[in-house]
């Protein structure tokens, strides 16, 4: 079980053959690497599954390999168009997960060297179309961790300004807290051969282009998002997990978040958030064990609004009413803005 979705293994993968797995997208959610938060968001799981399937099927038409096999209804994986109602279960090709070894306060990735294929790449690739005030890259630029020239910029852009060319960033995926790294570090960690990082960047930009155009169609701006990858048994690069959802993307409507960022914005004002920031600085590997404060519940009305955002994006992106009695996204902006301002 994961913090926000559950995995059922239908067929185990091995070193040479992909397996088959099923994700059960839950109504749980997580922010700031905490794991399960105290609230559930109604219909979140079904909405995420529908949106993820929609974008996987779009990518397949473009010739981009993914691990997606279909959305499960009546026990069988189906194309989205074949579903009678929304499902929270997705079937996919299952890859091996090779966890790095913890050594004191570091992670050792040497186990990846010599692996030929059929495994999850332990990285998250982040594309950025702008740097909003809450962007981690903007914070790293301001405190000097990253220099503008390192990422092809002449200066630090104003918060929220749309970038002329998307920026690509990379972080770890299988550590206790995601850690931003350089592309050279990523190549060294995972044993990429020449051309594989270039191909991952190319596919990430294509995913960004597809998601951004679809978001614009429903008046959302795709500020940034993440893409995850794996190698299949032939060492082909495949897109895994899901893409294009309000969990993977920072969607905004007129500057107001329409994604998981709504919950993040609320929690940034809490004592709990201040505690975890301090804890992560002191102990990157086991920081959660040192936090004595639990996250508070979201206001009930805010959980309702977040649920309507997820349902509304699923309806409007796919152009099919999966969730009845769901307001248009533009009708939710004012109330959301009041909660997080």
Place of tokens 């918060």: 159
CB 257 within 8 A of CB 340: yes
pLDDT band at 2 (very low <50, low <70, confident <90, very high): low
Please tell me the distance from the alpha carbon of residue 146 to that of residue 221, in angstroms, as a whole number.
25
The arrangement of secondary structure in 5-340, i.e. its CATH architecture, is 2-Layer Sandwich (3.30)
pLDDT-above-70 percentage for the chain: 99
Q: Which two tokens stand for residue 174?
A: 């299988």
Q: Which two tokens stand for residue 213?
A: 């155009």
What's residue 193's pLDDT? 86
> Residue 46 is inside which H or E element, if any?
helix 44-61
Residue 1 has pLDDT above 80, yes or no: no
- In degrees rounded to 5, what are phi and psi of residue 307? -60, -45
| Residue range 20-29, pLDDT digits in tens | 999 999 999 9
CA nearest neighbour of 246 among 20, 38, 55, 36 = 55
Least confident of 156-165, 248-257, 282-291, 296-305: 282-291
pTM: 0.94
Residue 324 has pLDDT above 70, yes or no: yes
Q: Which two tokens stand for residue 95?
A: 């890859």
| Residue range 112-158, pLDDT digits in tens | 988 999 999 999 999 999 998 888 899 899 998 888 888 888 899 89
CB count, 10 Å around CB of 94?
25
Please tell me the distance from the alpha carbon of residue 121 to that of residue 31, in angstroms, as a whole number.
22
Residue 165 has pLDDT above 90, yes or no: yes
Q: Where do the domains of the chain lie?
A: 5-340
**Burial (CB count within 10 angstroms: exposed 0-12, middle 13-18, buried 19+), residue 174:** middle
What's residue 152's pLDDT? 84
- For residue 31, CA distances in Å to 14, 117, 232, 264 come to 32, 31, 30, 6
Across the chain, mean pLDDT equals 94
What's residue 335's pLDDT? 96
Residue 114, Ramachandran bin (φ over 0: left; ψ between -120 and 50: alpha; else beta): left
What's residue 113's pLDDT? 86
In Å, how far from its chain's centre is CA 173? 11
CB 188 within 8 A of CB 122: no
What's residue 93's pLDDT? 98
What's residue 176's pLDDT? 80
Q: Which two tokens stand for residue 62?
A: 């473009």
């Amino acid at each position: 079980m994961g913090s926000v979705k559950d995995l059922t293994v239908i067929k185990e993968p091995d070193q040479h053959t992909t397996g088959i797995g099923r994700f059960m997208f839950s109504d749980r959610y997580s922010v700031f690497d905490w794991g399960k938060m105290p609230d559930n968001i109604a219909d979140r799981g079904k909405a995420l599954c529908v949106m993820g399937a929609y974008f996987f099927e779009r990518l397949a038409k473009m010739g981009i390999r993914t691990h997606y096999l279909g959305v499960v209804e009546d026990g069988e994986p189906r194309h989205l168009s074949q579903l009678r109602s929304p499902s929270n279960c997705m079937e996919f090709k299952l890859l091996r997960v090779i966890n790095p070894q913890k050594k004191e306060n570091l992670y050792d990735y040497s186990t990846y060297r010599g692996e030929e294929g059929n495994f999850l790449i332990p990285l998250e690739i982040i594309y950025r179309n702008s740097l909003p005030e809450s962007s981690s890259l903007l914070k790293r630029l301001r405190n000097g961790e990253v220099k503008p020239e390192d990422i092809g910029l002449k200066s630090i852009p104003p918060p929220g300004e749309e970038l002329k060319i998307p920026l690509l960033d990379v972080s770890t995926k299988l550590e206790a807290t995601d850690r931003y790294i350089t592309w050279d570090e990523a190549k060294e960690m995972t044993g990429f051969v020449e051309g594989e990082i270039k191909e991952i960047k190319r596919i990430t930009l294509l995913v960004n282009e597809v998601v951004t155009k679809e978001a614009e169609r429903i008046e959302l701006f795709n500020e940034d998002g993440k893409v995850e990858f794996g190698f299949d048994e032939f060492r082909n690069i495949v897109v895994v997990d899901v893409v294009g959802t309000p969990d993977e993307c920072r969607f905004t409507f007129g500057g107001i978040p329409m994604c998981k960022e709504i919950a993040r914005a609320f929690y940034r004002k809490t004592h709990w958030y201040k505690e975890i920031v301090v804890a992560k600085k002191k102990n990157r590997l086991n920081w959660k064990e040192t936090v004595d404060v639990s996250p508070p519940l979201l206001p009930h009305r805010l959980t309702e609004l977040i649920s309507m955002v997820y349902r509304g994006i699923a309806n409007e992106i796919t152009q099919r009413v999966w969730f009845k009695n769901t307001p248009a996204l533009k009708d939710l902006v004012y109330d959301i803005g009041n909660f997080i301002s």
